[in-house]
Chains A and B, each alone.
Chain A
Amino acid sequence: MKMNKIIIISAVVFMFSGCENFLTIEPTNEVLTTEAINSAEDIQKTLISAYDVMRNGNYLGGNMWTMGDLVSDNSEKDFSDFGWDQIAQRSMNLFNIQGRSFWQNAYFSAERVNYVMYLLDHSGVPDLIEQERQRIEGECRFIRAVAHFELVRFFALPFEADSNNDQPGIPIRLKPVVDIAAATKIVDRATVQMVYDSVIAELELAVDLLPGDNGTYASSWAAKAYLARIYFQMNDFDRAFSYASDIIINGGFALNDSVQERFATTNSGEAIFELQSTSAGNNSAGALVGNYRQNGAGNPGFHPSADLVNQAISDENDTRGQRFYNTRFISGTEGLERTYCAKYDYDYMNVPVSHLAEIILIRAESAIDKSSPDLPQAISDLQMIRDRAYGEGNKIVPGNSTAEELRNLCQFERRLELAMEGNRLHDLKRTKSEVRGLPYNSNRTVWQIPDIEQAGNPDIEMNPSSD
């Protein structure tokens, strides 16, 4: 009997002593977050992971651009798909796939940089020098401002210059999620005004923190370019003009000789901020190329609208009409023709997020409508764009153009210069123009808050689904 007791007791003791280790099984293919960040380089790698999200095909890598062009009047599609069909028909609901993925990825990039900001204060790494710290902080603020700005333009009614813009915008996410409680804390939609205020404040801080030259990563010029874009969207022409001018005069950028070059060359002289691609297997513009590329075997799913093409080819000198569009047979059919977009005919390319041509156009139009209008400046800027597009001297801007005429000319060139780059929807809303037959403030041109957002906040204010 004693022996049995000994056996049992020793088994129990054995169990208890080995218990704690026996019951602690950690993952083997990943490290514990508490042990992951040990040097400034680790923080830098975490920051770069946010760029990896930005270039996601559903965000800046392409679909976000195509969404805007399809819902308005620049793009059309040739295939059927649950999500894209809704966009073409302007009936996006909370299950819209493209809207959902865009939302998810944009906020994903914000959360990654929120965490980097957290690490700057809490990681305790020994080798983080002040200069690096500031640069990293600047990039974080830039990335999350970009995310919030792009989101609010799609998911909320447009910003209007003479309104208090208290319509529901999007949740503002500036705090990192470091535990479950933070992940489940309800954050409601801030108003559009609050979002714009936040984005502007972030970018202005970024301008001060970022260096002028940050390699291919976000620089202070990238931040200024976004500020120019944002103020322009707000119709705040004074500030738009100011930032655009600063970039043009001091940025060290110059227009390329040809209109195609900023797509054909990575980081050309005209590029202010691009998302990088290093090979066909590491292509940040995969979705953009996938949507439009037309020099391959099959047919791309999207093509430019007839309206856009007609404008582009209306002047025989317009190199953009010649270069950006290609009319050919639709493969697999017998003799049907279509004009496709030829801007993105590459195995891989950088995503030109912001570039000088856009800034020049911003300055041109802002010069017309700023508090002290400067029409000659507008004419000069517009001429710069035209000279590159039509060939020098082939399309002179009449020196006696009125403000209204100039404005129309600028908007015309803008549409052609920036075609298929995702600007059209926002341009139409800014100028209170119709969006392919719908009013600029139609609820149907606003994406619905996606199901993945409502899932965590059932009381979130949803957008009206019709007008």
Chain B
Amino acid sequence: MSLNKTHYWKLILLLFLVAPLSLSAQTQVITGTVTEAATGEPLPGVTVISKGTTMGAVTDFDGSYSIEIVPGATLVFSFVGFSPQEVRVNDQTLINVQLGESTTELDEVIVVGYGTQRKRNLTGSIAKIDGSQITETPVSTFAAGLQGKAAGVQIIQSNGMAGAGSAIRIRGVGSISAGGDPLIIVDGIPINQDQDGSYGVRRGANTSAMATINPNDIESLEILKDASAAAIYGSRGANGVILITTKRGKSKEASWDFSYRAGMVQETKRLDFLNNTEWLQLHQEAYENDAIYGSGNLDAGAYPDLPGGVTLEEAMATNTDWQDLMLHNGFSQEANLSFNKGSDKLKSYVGISYSDQDSYLMGNNYKRLSGRANLEYQLTDHMSAGVNFTQAFGVNNRVEASWAGGLGSAQSDALPIWPVWTDESTYFDAGSNPVRSRDNKEIKSFENRSLGNAYLNYRPIDGMIIRADYGLDYLSLDENYYENEILRSVPYAESRVNRYLSENGKVVGTYDLNMPENHYLQILVGTEFNRTKKGNAFLSYDGLSDPIYKYDALPDSSLTREEDNPLVMSNSFVSFFTRISYNYKGKYLFSGSMRTDGSSRFGENNKFGYFPAGSVGWIVTEEEFLEKSTLLSFLKLKASFGYTGNAEIPDLIQWGTTNINNGITYNNDSIIFRTNLANPNITWERTFSYDLGLEFGLLRDRIYGELTYYNKRTENMLLQVKTQASSGWAIVYDNVGEMENKGVEFMIKSRNLVGDFKWTTDLNIGFNRNKVLDVGTASPDALAGTGDTRVIKGHPIGVNYLVRFSHVDPADGMPVFFTKEGEETKVYNVEDRVVVGKPYPDFIGGINNTMSYRGFDLSFLFNFSYGNQIYDDAGKRLVGRINGWNQSRMVLDRWRQPGDITDIPRLTLDGALSGIETDRNTDEFLYDGSYLRLKQLTFGYNFPESVVQKMHVKNLRLYFAATNLLTFTKYPGSDPEIFRDMENVMQKNLSPSVTYLTPPQAMTFNVGLNVTF
């Protein structure tokens, strides 16, 4: 019989309609109730299928079902999060089933792009982190909670300041000038995430837009790593995708959760500097060295003037420990209260949270108040609607850092011979005085984020769901800066505002087709649009007595500059996508997807891009020859390939523009000038990647592991191609570069002991090798980060490009370098720079051990990074250039007299006289950045049932948690996890593992309690 598709559907429909009406003698009806094994509670929504047929039913709100079968059939009961059960029907008509919670990894539900899937059936590479793993330890942004928890995912926190940001790198860095962070999606909305690296950059430090997302709201987080998982996000998936799902109402009875945590914050390591006596002694020695060994006519017996106009007596009597004045033990606390109810028609999760976090820098603090409501209502049997909404307010009291002052000054140009005060009411101001700056400046940022979406789910027929979704993300950042009359004769106040408003809408239809036995097919079709408006404003005033935010109305007379750029459309995306997932007998798995993206960012000649991907999997243990194996309980082989893109390029660079409203006049005549050259070919960066992987489970999945090899090749990299300056144009944007990332990821989760004493070990490790394949005609200096990292063809991204240091000549204490060709020379020449190191590690990973016994639990997470070099950009000043800076104690090993063997050259005050180039960039200050760190340690106690019931609560937990407790590293600086301050995307990609007086990470000690009632 040849049936075409329409007939086929009609036939099935007829069967469904007819079947319940005809009780043929050949079938029988089975009824029963499905309950949860642990609690005895009825389980609604359980799927009951007659194995091998299309007969199916779903349990209702009481857990009851009714299904018509042929005698001898086998019923399969399955429900997400629970282990499925099969019951063969003999002659009973009542079959009650108890389902136990699934303990294997493989039954976990994983959120994938626009849907969910069972882990067992995944053919892509996705890591899942449960929300509780993020909130177990104190973190201010969720990214910090991911460190060391997913193979191949590197999180580098920039520093330990309050609200500090991190860079997230999935399988290495995928771009040079375009954003290197993954796309972050919260409940289906791609959010504003400071992709251009300039968010909140002020006075030597960056803050993070992610600080307004409350980690406590997160239910689960999935990291999509390979093409088949991320390609459905098309032109935005090349760096991977992070899907965040916030908490839903799911507890059957209304329940409240309250948690409170308080703790102390310290720096991970404090550096050692000279005291006043030592500094004076070395300063004098440097002068005498210049007199004895240098050219010029200095008198070796004289005393040079001391900086800051202090006399020798004053200097010998003053020993200020500036670091001590900048650092303290900070206090941080956080409280969360949430309500959760999820049965009947309404699922609701409502929460409110307050956190108040000091950093170890005095005066630095971040407060956040946020609330969330996630509601879903079952309108009819076929339709549900929901809304997710969060509002957060953050206030960040900032301090200067790095080159701008604060701790950076204390570690550099604030000399120990200078006092804080010259008398009772006057600050010392003839030199750097970070206490004076901090006391008389106010740097305060106000953040406001509203994020929400509303959706409708419609199930027209069994197996099909159509979802329409609309969301908004609004983010505003108001940075206030104020200097009072002690610092400036006329106080200066400034307010700088940045605003983003994004809209996102989509319609997605998913259909699980009714297939003949052993086949499973799901089709997904969807369309999505996204657009973002950006705006900013700037105000500055002279002569105010307070910062701008304290005023309701500001005096016009003091206004010195005002700019207001209201929100205007900045970028837009339109997409169409489809995915087909198929498996045969749960054994052979196939998935294919295609996405088309168009964006306003892409030039007119390249508006739309196509991103196909495909993957296959074979669950080998389903085959007969492995079914009986007791050791190998699960083995899946998988492979995937596909195209993804990176659209994080500036919004408007395709246009050739001319500025006609610049307000500049020459000779009272106005001028106009071109500002950008047109490039209608601007397009997204494109990555082709393929993955080969295997997943295994041993001993009934007590040990579960994954091993993956991946290969990603990125082309069309958008480079800020530096032109010859003689062309009159400094840079042009063009898609010219190529880069590859290859690596291996391995993870293993072992439930070592499962009795009364439980012990689980999680290990993940990711090896990545990055290589830049093509940068067009760019010279090494054309593509640079802060701190002398460069992009050079044939090397990993961000290599250190420095002159090699050989030794110190014992005869005269002068440094000896290597020329490019390897010969020794005392002349420092930038042309002798060669590639000497790289900022991204060879491998990273984490080991987490969790143990529990009778209510007590202990877990500790070590994370490690190996094979990167850290360049200390301030090193050349801190070790040997004592002119105007304090010195690291490393300088005590310097060369002092002929015959000394040491690595630290002769001290000098004046490079012109001594011939020692003190502004040199060499590998003297390039260090091995590998480290092993005890990242998290948690010790907790869950009070037993008996106690808990007497208190009329459902759960009570007390715990102690510490972060960054121990660090093992050869790096002599303050912290091997480091990231320089940056001002644009390229710097963000090229500046990890570089420090310039960058503050270290924070070490915290906390106690907390969680109560559920």
Q: Which chain A positions have C-beta within 8 A of B571?
A: 25
Query: Which residues of A come within 8 Å of B, CB atoms?
Result: 1, 3-4, 7-8, 11-12, 15, 19, 22-34, 36-37, 42, 44-46, 48-49, 51-52, 55, 82, 85, 88-89, 93-95, 100, 103-104, 107-108, 110-112, 114-115, 170-171, 173, 177-180, 182-187, 216-217, 276, 278, 282, 284, 450-458, 460, 462, 465
Additional pairs, 14, CB under 8 Å, beyond known A11-B507, A454-B779: A23-B599, A25-B572, A27-B652, A27-B655, A44-B669, A48-B666, A82-B919, A95-B830, A103-B725, A110-B728, A112-B728, A173-B726, A179-B678, A183-B732
27 A-B pairs within 8 Å (CB atoms) are namely: A7-B466, A15-B527, A24-B600, A25-B571, A25-B652, A27-B657, A29-B661, A34-B678, A42-B672, A45-B672, A46-B673, A88-B912, A93-B830, A107-B727, A112-B728, A179-B679, A180-B678, A182-B727, A183-B729, A183-B732, A455-B723, A455-B779, A455-B781, A456-B722, A456-B724, A457-B777, A460-B724
CB–CB B829/A23 < 8 A = no
Known: A25-B572, A27-B652, A28-B568. A180 touches B732 (CB 8 A): yes
CB–CB A465/B509 < 8 A = no
Q: Tell yes or no: B461 within 8 A of A by CB.
A: yes
Q: Please tell me which one of the listed residues B572, B730, B779 contacts residue A104 in the complex, with CB atoms under 8 A apart.
A: B730
A82 to B911, CA, bound (A): 11
CB–CB B655/A32 < 8 A = yes
Chain A nearest CB from B393 CB (Å) reads: 30
Q: Tell yes or no: B285 within 8 A of A by CB.
A: no
Q: Tell yes or no: B664 within 8 A of A by CB.
A: yes
- Interface flags for B44-71 (1: CB within 8 Å of A; 0: not) read 0000000000000000000000000000
Q: Tell yes or no: B598 within 8 A of A by CB.
A: yes
Q: Please tell me which one of the listed residues A25, A82, A112, A451 contacts residue B569 in the complex, with CB atoms under 8 A apart.
A: A25
Q: Which chain A positions have C-beta within 8 A of B652?
A: 25-27
Q: Tell yes or no: B93 within 8 A of A by CB.
A: no
- Interface flags for B524-551 (1: CB within 8 Å of A; 0: not) read 0101010100000000000000000000
CB–CB A15/B529 < 8 A = yes
Q: Which chain A positions have C-beta within 8 A of B560?
A: none
Most buried by B among A11, A49, A216, A453: A49
A178 to B673, CA, bound (A): 13
A44 to B4, CA, bound (A): 73
Shortest 4 CB-CB contacts between residues of A and residues of B: A111-B728, A456-B724, A455-B782, A458-B779
Interface residues of B in 765-783 (CB under 8 A from A): 777-782
Chain A nearest CB from B827 CB (Å) reads: 8
CB–CB B655/A180 < 8 A = no
Interface residues of B in 237-262 (CB under 8 A from A): none
CB-nearest residue of chain B relative to A175? Answer: B727
Chain A nearest CB from B136 CB (Å) reads: 42
CB–CB B677/A177 < 8 A = yes
CB–CB A32/B656 < 8 A = yes
Known: A30-B657, A34-B656, A52-B671. A170 touches B779 (CB 8 A): no
Q: Tell yes or no: B607 within 8 A of A by CB.
A: yes
Q: Please tell me which one of the listed residues B458, B660, B664, B723 contacts residue A31 in the complex, with CB atoms under 8 A apart.
A: B660
A110 to B661, CA, bound (A): 22
CB–CB A8/B525 < 8 A = yes
CB–CB A49/B727 < 8 A = no
Known: A8-B507, A36-B658, A180-B677. A173 touches B728 (CB 8 A): yes
A410 to B829, CA, bound (A): 41
CB–CB B725/A458 < 8 A = no
A107 to B725, CA, bound (A): 7
Q: Which chain A positions have C-beta within 8 A of B92?
A: none
Q: Which chain A positions have C-beta within 8 A of B729?
A: 111, 177, 183
CB–CB A45/B727 < 8 A = no
CB-nearest residue of chain A relative to B661? Answer: A29
Interface residues of B in 694-743 (CB under 8 A from A): 721-730, 732, 734
CB–CB A30/B659 < 8 A = yes
A45 to B779, CA, bound (A): 36
CB-nearest residue of chain B relative to A170? Answer: B726
CB–CB A111/B600 < 8 A = no
Chain A nearest CB from B606 CB (Å) reads: 11
Chain A nearest CB from B596 CB (Å) reads: 11
Chain A nearest CB from B527 CB (Å) reads: 6
CB–CB B525/A453 < 8 A = no
CB–CB B656/A89 < 8 A = no
CB–CB A108/B527 < 8 A = no
- Interface flags for B429-467 (1: CB within 8 Å of A; 0: not) read 000000000000000000000000000001011001010
Q: Tell yes or no: B311 within 8 A of A by CB.
A: no
Q: Tell yes or no: B26 within 8 A of A by CB.
A: no
Known: A33-B657, A82-B919, A453-B725. A8 touches B670 (CB 8 A): no
Chain B nearest CB from A123 CB (Å) reads: 12
Q: Give the size category of B's interface with A.
A: 35 or more
A276 to B661, CA, bound (A): 21
CB–CB A173/B727 < 8 A = yes
Q: Tell yes or no: B333 within 8 A of A by CB.
A: no
Known: A26-B655, A30-B660. A183 touches B726 (CB 8 A): no
Q: Tell yes or no: B675 within 8 A of A by CB.
A: yes
Most buried by A among B569, B659, B670, B723: B723
Interface residues of B in 912-928 (CB under 8 A from A): 912, 919
Q: Which chain A positions have C-beta within 8 A of B673?
A: 46, 49, 112
A3 to B531, CA, bound (A): 28
CB–CB B677/A179 < 8 A = yes
Q: Please tell me which one of the listed residues A29, A88, A453 contacts residue B726 in the complex, with CB atoms under 8 A apart.
A: A453
Chain A nearest CB from B795 CB (Å) reads: 15
CB–CB A85/B677 < 8 A = no
Q: Please tell me which one of the listed residues A33, A107, A454 contacts residue B781 in the complex, with CB atoms under 8 A apart.
A: A454
Q: Please tell me which one of the listed residues A7, A22, A32, A104 contacts residue B725 in the complex, with CB atoms under 8 A apart.
A: A104
Q: Which chain A positions have C-beta within 8 A of B423?
A: none
CB–CB A276/B678 < 8 A = no
CB–CB B664/A22 < 8 A = no
A107 to B722, CA, bound (A): 15
Q: Tell yes or no: B668 within 8 A of A by CB.
A: yes
Q: Which chain B positions have C-beta within 8 A of A179?
A: 677-679
CB-nearest residue of chain A relative to B884? Answer: A80
CB-nearest residue of chain A relative to B464? Answer: A4
Interface residues of B in 558-580 (CB under 8 A from A): 565, 568-574, 576
A11 to B508, CA, bound (A): 11
CB–CB B726/A103 < 8 A = yes
CB–CB A114/B678 < 8 A = no
Known: A8-B525, A19-B574, A452-B722. A108 touches B651 (CB 8 A): no
CB–CB A32/B667 < 8 A = no
Q: Tell yes or no: B831 within 8 A of A by CB.
A: yes
Q: Tell yes or no: B950 within 8 A of A by CB.
A: no
CB–CB A45/B726 < 8 A = no
CB–CB A216/B667 < 8 A = yes
CB-nearest residue of chain A relative to B460? Answer: A4
- Interface flags for B642-657 (1: CB within 8 Å of A; 0: not) read 0000000001100111
Known: A95-B830, A465-B829. A49 touches B507 (CB 8 A): no
Q: Please tell me which one of the listed residues A8, A107, A455 contacts residue B728 in the complex, with CB atoms under 8 A apart.
A: A107
Q: Which chain A positions have C-beta within 8 A of B675?
A: 30
Chain B nearest CB from A260 CB (Å) reads: 23
CB–CB B574/A15 < 8 A = yes
CB–CB A177/B667 < 8 A = no
A88 to B656, CA, bound (A): 41
- Interface flags for B589-603 (1: CB within 8 Å of A; 0: not) read 000000000111000
CB-nearest residue of chain A relative to B507? Answer: A11
Chain A nearest CB from B464 CB (Å) reads: 8
Q: Tell yes or no: B2 within 8 A of A by CB.
A: no
CB–CB B529/A186 < 8 A = no
Q: Which chain B positions have C-beta within 8 A of A22?
A: 529, 531, 572, 574, 600
Known: A7-B507, A89-B912, A465-B829. A456 touches B657 (CB 8 A): no
Q: Please tell me which one of the listed residues A11, A25, A184 contacts residue B570 in the complex, with CB atoms under 8 A apart.
A: A25
Q: Which chain A positions have C-beta within 8 A of B5?
A: none
CB–CB B672/A456 < 8 A = no
Q: Which chain B positions have C-beta within 8 A of A30?
A: 657-661, 675
